[in-house]
Structure 1
Amino acid sequence: MTPETAIDIMREALWMIVMLSAFIIGPGLVIGLVVSTFQAATQINEQTLSFLPRLLVTLLVIIFAGPWMLTQLIDHAEGLIGSIPYLIG
């Protein structure tokens, strides 16, 4: 295996991590921004008010997008395992 191949494998793995984590964190970030804007407009300075909507949105994203995310991880792992003979030889 050449260093370029190892770098490509790591690049693909890191891109998968970034894509899946952004898919979970993104909606929570948007909801947090909306709640923070609402708090600033109404001058409600309650820290726990933004926690529950972000938690619920994150859980809903995991519930609905979980099968797709798991499929992406399994496809990536199968691709890596399937390419082992070509990488070694």
Structure 2
Amino acid sequence: MSEQLVIGIIKDALTTALYLSAPFLVVSLVLGLLISIFQASTQIQEQTLTFVPKLVAVAAIGLLLGSWMLTQLMSFTERIFQLISNIVH
């Protein structure tokens, strides 16, 4: 197993993790920013006001993009198994 192969595997794993987590992080960040602007302008300082909408939005993203995420994860797993079978032979 060469260094290039290990670096390639790590790069592929990090890229896949970034692709899978990005929708959740972006939606949570944008929604949190909008809610904090709303709280600052109305001076409502309720902690649950930030938590519940983020939870609902993240759950919705999980439901909407779940099949795409599963496809990406299965593709990564197939690539890893292909590499393992090439190393064994």
Q: TM-score, normalised by structure 2?
A: 0.91
Report the equivalent of 2:70.
70
Question: How do 1:6-85 residues align onto structure 2 when only pairs under 5 Å count?
Answer: 6-85=6-85
Q: Tell me, in whole angstroms, the C-alpha distance in 2 between the residues paired with 1:38 and 1:24.
A: 21
Cα deviations by residue, 1:59-80 (Å, 9 ceiling, x for unpaired): 0000110110011000110111
Count of matched residue positions in the alignment of Structure 1 and Structure 2: 89
Q: Tell me, in whole angstroms, the C-alpha distance in 1 between the residues paired with 2:33 and 2:79.
A: 38
Cα deviations by residue, 1:18-73 (Å, 9 ceiling, x for unpaired): 22112212101111110110000111111111111100000000011011001100
Between the aligned residues of both structures, percent identity stands at 39
Structure 1's consecutive aligned runs of 4 or more residues displaced over 6 angstroms after TM superposition are none
Q: Over the residues paired in the alignment, what is the CA RMSD in angstroms? A: 1.2
The code of the aligned residue for 1:72 comes to Q
The code of the aligned residue for 1:52 comes to V
Q: Which sections of structure 2, spanning at least 5 residues, go unmatched?
A: none
Q: TM-score, normalised by structure 1?
A: 0.91
